[in-house]
């Protein structure tokens, strides 16, 4: 076992962006990045979550995974508001390329263009992708 | 500068671990600090001491262990991601420890830069 490093993070608030890029099933990226979003909430940081590429499917309404035998974790996105994570973004280009509309999502999101997403990423202290 | 690294892929199938290792080495050589490396997703497989690549190839698990021991780098394997993939204390290579995702967030807060290596 290595020596645990001790950091003084008391009172520091940084801007964290979680960039969710993958489809919800088929790989575990979507589920595992969601786990890290929930943990980050406990650290009282300034958190945003952006859904881009196939990541926009993560928050599509009406997911049913019974036939593929994988856990349907989509209800967890609705719990984010309870953790004060309310800055949820969807990239417009990704959404439109996949035939989705704003009311297809199971949480309230802000739809932003690719340029705005770039500015959002630029404004962060920490970006975590999955 | 104080760096923290996030390694999101296992050894060999992706270049992420190789790149992260080389980045860590280069940063240390330049006098920077690498305060923590966090292994997430399939990245937890970098901590499996049962990994035995052919003798004429690099052994990433061993390289990380040596780098950590020599430079006192905190190598942290995510417990939840590790359990899914069988990375438990009995297969953990030297220099690694298992802990929670809070260690990733904490590293993000404390470091000047958190650099992600993934797909």
- pLDDT tens per residue across span A15-26: 999 999 999 999
- Whether A3 shows a pLDDT value over 70: the answer reads no
Determine the residue of chain B that is closest to A39 in CA distance: B102
Q: What is the mean pLDDT of residues B54-77?
A: 97
**Residue contact B118–A129, C-beta within 8 A:** yes
Q: What is the mean pLDDT of residues A37-62?
A: 97
Chain B touched by A64 (CB under 8 Å):
no
**Residue contact B96–A2, C-beta within 8 A:** yes
DSSP three-state, residue A118: helix
Determine the residue of chain B that is closest to A3 in CA distance: B74
C-alpha span between B96 and B89 (Å, rounded): 9
Chain A touched by B35 (CB under 8 Å):
yes
The closest of A88, A90, A86 to A101, measured between CA atoms, is: A90
Residue A74 main-chain phi, psi, to 5 deg? -60, -30
**Residue contact B110–A35, C-beta within 8 A:** no
Q: Would you place residue A2 in the very low, low, confident or very high pLDDT band (cuts 50, 70, 90)? A: low
The closest of B26, B61, B58 to B47, measured between CA atoms, is: B61
- pLDDT above 70 coverage of chain B, percent: 100
Instruction: For domain A15-129, give the fold.
Output: Hypothetical Protein Ychn; Chain: A, (3.40.1260)
Q: Would you place residue A6 in the very low, low, confident or very high pLDDT band (cuts 50, 70, 90)? A: confident
Cβ neighbours of B80 in A, within 8 Å: 32, 35
Q: What is the mean pLDDT of residues B88-112?
A: 97
Question: What pLDDT, on the 0 to 100 scale, is given for residue B119?
Answer: 84
φ/ψ bin of B72: left (φ > 0), alpha (ψ from -120 to 50), beta (otherwise): left
Lowest mean pLDDT among A2-6, A95-99, A117-121: A2-6
Question: In CATH, what is the architecture of B2-117?
Answer: 3-Layer(aba) Sandwich (3.40)
| Token couple for A108 | 């309230």
Q: Is the complex ipTM higher than 0.90?
A: yes
What DSSP letter does each residue of A78-94 carry, written as one string? HHGGGGT--EEEEEHHH
Q: What is the mean pLDDT of residues A49-70?
A: 97
Domain boundaries defined on chain B: 2-117
- pLDDT above 90 coverage of chain B, percent: 99
Catalytic residues of B: 78
- Whether A85 shows a pLDDT value over 70: the answer reads yes
What is the side-by-side strand order in the sheet with B96-99? B96-99, B74-78, B33-39, B2-7, B113-117
3-class secondary structure per residue, B27-88: HHHCCCEEEEEEECHHHHHHHECCCCCCCCCCCHHHHHHHHHHHHCCEEEEEHHHHHHCCCC
The H or E element containing residue A36 is helix A29-41
- Whether A1 shows a pLDDT value over 90: the answer reads no
Q: What is the pLDDT of residues B18-53, one digit of tens each?
A: 999 999 999 999 999 999 999 999 999 999 999 999
Per the prediction, chain A carries an average pLDDT of 95
Q: Look up residue A61 and give its DSSP letter.
A: S
């Amino acid at each position: 076992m290595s020596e645990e490093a001790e950091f003084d993070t008391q009172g520091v608030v940084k801007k964290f962006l979680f960039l969710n890029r993958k489809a919800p099933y088929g790989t575990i990226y979507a589920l595992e990045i969601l786990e890290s979003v929930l943990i980050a909430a406990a650290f009282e940081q300034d958190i945003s979550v952006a859904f881009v590429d196939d990541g926009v499917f993560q928050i599509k309404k009406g997911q049913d995974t019974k036939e593929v035998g994988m856990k349907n974790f989509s209800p967890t996105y609705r719990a984010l508001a309870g953790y004060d994570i309310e800055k949820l973004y969807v990239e417009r280009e990704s959404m439109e390329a996949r035939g989705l509309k704003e009311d297809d999502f199971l949480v309230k999101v802000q739809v932003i263009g690719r340029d705005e997403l770039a500015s959002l990423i630029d404004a962060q202290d920490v970006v975590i992708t999955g | 500068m104080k760096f923290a690294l996030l390694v999101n892929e296992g050894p060999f199938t992706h270049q992420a671990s190789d790149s992260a290792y080389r980045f860590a080495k280069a940063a240390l050589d330049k006098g920077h600090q690498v305060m923590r490396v966090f292994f997430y997703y399939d990245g937890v497989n970098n901590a499996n001491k049962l990994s035995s690549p052919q003798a004429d190839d690099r052994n990433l698990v061993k390289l990380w262990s040596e780098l950590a021991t020599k430079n006192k780098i905190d190598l942290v394997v995510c417990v939840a991601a590790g359990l899914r993939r069988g990375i438990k204390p009995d297969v953990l290579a030297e220099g690694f420890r298992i802990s929670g995702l809070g260690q990733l967030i904490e590293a993000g807060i404390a470091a000047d830069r958190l650099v992600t290596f993934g797909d």
